[in-house]
Amino acid sequence: MTKVRTRFAPSPTGYMHIGNLRTALYEYLVAKKDPDGVFILRIEDTDQGRLIEGATDIIYNTLAQCKLFHDEGPDVGGNYGSYVQSERMKSGIYKEYAEKLIDLGGAHYCFCQEEDIQSQRELAEARGESFIFNDPCKNISVEDARARIANGESYVVRQNIPTSGTTSFDDEVYGTITVENSTLDEAVLLKSDGYPTYNFANIIDDHMMEITHVIRGNEYLSSTPKYNLVYKAFGWDIPTYIHCPPVMKDEHHKLSKRNGDASFQDLVAKGYLPEAIINYIALLGWSPETEQEIYTLDELKQAFNVKRIGTSGAIFDIDKLTWMNGMYLRNMDIDTYYDIAKEHITNGVKGNYDHKEIAKILQQRANTLAEIDEMVDFFDTYNSFDSELYTNKKMKSNPEVALPSLKAARDLLASLPNWEETTIHDEMMALVEKLGIKNGQLLYPVRVAITGKQFTPGGAIEISYILGKDETLRRLDLAIQDLEK
């Protein structure tokens, strides 16, 4: 049995779009389903006008952060290099294969100028017809065409498409697809500057690198019949196709890097974990056989099955990703969590507080790392606040309830001989019982009083312990004074 070889072939044109990263993940998972499978990184940089400096490093870094380690590629080598298209082009392989395809009858030289094409386009529009270029250069013999080229005439190479009949192909997701050849355009394969078009370079590189499975977005379904006509002209094996539904912004719009939608780098900057992002995007278009939602990468390798990729677009739900990210954070041991949260805690808390204790309360409440800075700002900054903040129907609290509760809590806390969290907890619970009130009628006002916030990463007891006795009493005194005014 032939071992599986997949390739992720991004263009270095900026940050990693979520749809591209999902393609990389699926390529990786398909390869790793086979114990001998190979996952390849190939850089497709033939569109020189769109290249962005540093974007190749972004590709390397993204795959490394997501632990999608490639077995072959520009940075790790392999037996099928070069793995950079512009370097492959220097060897002349694309021009060589274009010439071979012409000799096999699968392509022809075209000398038409843009105005020739435009006049046909305008005529089709005037007739209300869809435009497909009818290239008169197909009638030029190969010998005559090569003589014109030898005289310095500019040309492109266009694919030959049968004028009748159909072309069919099988896709693992969409099934068998058949198209009328008359609907296919004779696309350019080799441009006048000698560079191959994206589609032609793809075909040549995939064949030479012995790619067995091609995974890509369903926008390439319409191009696939033309790919296959090239494969057949050369007599090459056609790879297994897996076309994936788009990742959608909403019901009507795709996520788009060009429209400024979130990239992997944007999400990481907003405090999302690479492993949570990978877990989430695996489920964008693929449904596992069980109700399980949280997967490690190793678990995804075992569970992934291309037969369960859907055909409908999957909407990118930031709330679902946020929930999933929170689950990842809460499932960490405290030391791991502290290591990744430390920078954010340090940014938000400059005072002399126990940062690891702060991490403990954050872990259960922060869903992203970027939330941390704002969640902990009350440690350093304590401002006066509107007394209506004490009003909370659920807690049965209001300013009138809060004042006696704060006074009682202040006296109790001042009397404590040691400042331990368990001691604070036990004594505060005893005070609730003694006063004959609900927990929330004591703890909610105390939490508001010592933080100046309605929502905090921890409760009154935890925050009091971290603030320390002196600071807690100072803040309670100020809050009581404000209520007594």
- Residue 359 contacts by C-beta under 8 Å, 6 or more apart in sequence? 334, 337, 338, 341, 342, 345
Provide CATH code, domain 1-74+245-327: 3.40.50.620
Confidence (pLDDT) at 125: 86
Question: Which fold, 387-484?
Answer: Arc Repressor Mutant, subunit A (1.10.10)
Average pLDDT, the chain: 94
Which of the four pLDDT bands, split at 50, 70 and 90, describes residue 250? confident
Q: Is 257 annotated as a binding residue?
A: yes
Cα Rg of the chain, angstroms: 32
Taking 70 as the threshold, does the pLDDT of residue 258 lie above it? no
Going by CATH, does the domain composed of 92-244 fall within 3.40.50.150? no
Contact criterion met (CB below 8 Å) for 158 and 189: yes
On the question of pLDDT at 261 being above 70, the answer is no
pLDDT digits (tens, 9 = 90+) for 98-122: 999 999 999 999 999 988 888 888 8
Whether the per-residue pLDDT at 472 is higher than 90: the answer is yes
If pLDDT is split at 50, 70 and 90, which confidence band does 260 have? low
- Residue 262's pLDDT is 79
> What residues act catalytically?
257
- Whether residue 293 is predicted with pLDDT greater than 90 in this model: the reply is yes
Q: Can you state the percent helix, strand and coil of the chain, rounding each to 5?
A: 50, 10, 35
Mean pLDDT over 354-362 rounds to 97
Specify whether the CB–CB gap between 120 and 186 falls below 8 A: no
Please list the residue range(s) of the chain that carry CATH number 1.10.10.350.
Answer: 387-484
How sure is the predictor about 45, in pLDDT bands with cuts at 50, 70 and 90?
Answer: confident
The identity of residue 280, as a single letter, is: Y
In the chain, ranges of CATH 3.40.50.620 domains? 1-74+245-327, 92-244
* 259 has a pLDDT exceeding 80: no
Check residue 257 and give its pLDDT.
63
Task: Give me the pLDDT at residue 439, please.
Answer: 96
Strands 156-159 and 107-110: what pairing?
antiparallel
> Cα angle at 55 between 51 and 56, to 5 degrees?
100
